[in-house]
Structure 1
Amino acid sequence: MTLQEQELAAVFARLAGTAARDPLDTQTLLTELVEGGHRLFDAPGATVHYAPGREAGRTEGTDAALRSLAADAARWREGPGYDVRTTGRALIDVDVTTAPMRARWPRWTARVATLGHGRITGLPLPAKEGPGGALVLFGAPGSNLDDKALALARSFADAAAHTLALQREVAESRALATQLEHALSSRVVVEQAKGILAAQHGLTLEAAFAGLRRYARSHQRKVADVSRDVIAGEDVPVEW
């Protein structure tokens, strides 16, 4: 295993470790991604634009100037990160100083010129719904990735996309679990309140619940909140 491959394995481990420790922190994963791209491929800088499905987009860069550029490019809907993310197609070793590129991305290329970058490679970060994001590696004018480095970069982007997808699944699972837990808790509270009202007023459980629901609607409150008042012993003037 070469030194670059060893470093690639180490970066993969850091990405997986970050996802395991902080499964809800997408921004930390994106930071690891751009820093890994910067170190692994000796790139002067890297940015990422990640917006899978209907999620609000997130951006990151290896320094303040590139972070600002990535955020502005997403807002402009311009630049290699936006194009690669929306099409799902890579841009390999593109000279961004040419007239066609300046015409294609006028604001983006003008900003990049002031930062001294001349070439980019943009790699897609696929998601289940289709294109999810893009990693952009920057190079100085005249520089380029050789075939081996490009193959490693593709593997790196694919692995990062997989990690981000797993992170999303964990986050969605946790959100669903929280919703189910809240729904179950509310159901238990309502059942307790029904029992209390039924016992106090000699009602059936169905009649007690009908009264609770009627009172909650007339006062624009949730049935679970009114039920908590009943359990707490507060005077809830429910009409039967």
Structure 2
Amino acid sequence: MEQLLRDLSRVTLVDRELTDVLTEVTRIAARGIPGAEASSITLIRNERPFTAAHHGQMALDADELQYAHGGGPCVDAGRGGVLLRVDDMHVEQRWPDYVAHLVQETPVRSSLSIPLPYQGSSIGALNNYSTQVAAFDSPESLRAGLEIAEVVAVAVANADAHWLVVEQARNMGLAMESRAVIEQAKGVLMAQQHVDADQAFEILRQASQRYNRKLRDIAAGIVEGTQVRR
């Protein structure tokens, strides 16, 4: 268990897509929970659950059935911050709509959904599925699940925060590039048509509307045109 927790804490965040990071986290987590044949991470954003990563198609199928049929153990664990175990889907009485479709469409017989605690609240759930009855009915499974979920929650939060910073930086870079291109195009128009800066921008704006293209693309075309002529 100590090695697995170390592996989770060492997952690389830099220069990777968020999905890749969370998929690695899920794969490592699944390795450490006795009984788990497939695992997934459900996150809750604006009250809407979604599977951020999964290890094993069975986990993704089971998650998506819950979203489609109004709830289930992983959704309730993520929203309510409570651990939920199902020992036998064939006799489970909770979530009847979800369970009925799960039994028909997947080989899942038991599951363990553990909330992901972070800064006093639950950000989602770590979901584990098995084709065996009562696969998680042991102190070892519960203890491992709870320990791993705490580390997974931190890893998920860190990966999410890192991705957000990178995305913001990328968007800022794109915005600065766009602004520079637009300023160049305005300069070209001012020189060619003997207009001031406001009039040049208005020419760009009208062209953007007329041709239904982004203002930046119109500006880039003007700048490229002058470079070709040179």
Q: Give TM-score, length-normalised by structure 2.
A: 0.74
Distance 2:203 2:120 in 1: 45
Instruction: State the shift of 1:181 in Å.
Output: 1.4
2:32 corresponds to 1:40? yes
- Does 208-217 or 174-183 show the bigger shift? 208-217
Instruction: State the shift of 1:123 in Å.
Output: 0.6
Q: Which residue of 1 is the match for residue 44 of structure 2?
A: 52
2:45 partner SS: coil
Gaps of 5+ in 2: none
Instruction: State the shift of 1:193 in Å.
Output: 1.4
Change (3 A) 1:112 1:132: farther
On the 8 A contact 2:186/2:197 being kept in 1, the answer is yes
2:70 corresponds to 1:77? yes
2:128 corresponds to 1:132? no
**1:115-172 deviation line (CA, Å, top 9, x unaligned):** 5x45x432112468954322234574386332x7634422210211211122222222
Q: Summarize the alignment of residues 1-20 of structure 1 with structure 2, pairs less than 5 Å apart.
A: 4=1, 6-13=2-9, 16-20=10-14
Gaps of 5+ in 1: 235-240
Change (3 A) 1:208 1:232: same
Distance 1:108 1:20 in 2: 40
Q: Summarize the alignment of residues 68-107 of structure 1 with structure 2, pairs less than 5 Å apart.
A: 68-91=61-84, 94-96=86-88, 101-105=92-96, 106-107=99-100
RMSD of Structure 2 on Structure 1 (CA): 3.5
Q: 1:157 aligns with which of 149, 153, 156?
A: 149
The sequence identity of aligned pairs, in percent, is 20
Q: Summarize the alignment of residues 179-218 of structure 1 with structure 2, pairs less than 5 Å apart.
A: 179-218=171-210
Instruction: State the shift of 1:60 in Å.
Output: 5.8
Q: Give TM-score, length-normalised by structure 1.
A: 0.72
Distance 2:152 2:61 in 1: 22
Distance 1:43 1:192 in 2: 62
Change (3 A) 1:212 1:52: same
Instruction: State the shift of 1:95 in Å.
Output: 3.6
On the 8 A contact 2:5/2:151 being kept in 1, the answer is no
Instruction: State the shift of 1:94 in Å.
Output: 4.8
Distance 2:52 2:193 in 1: 59
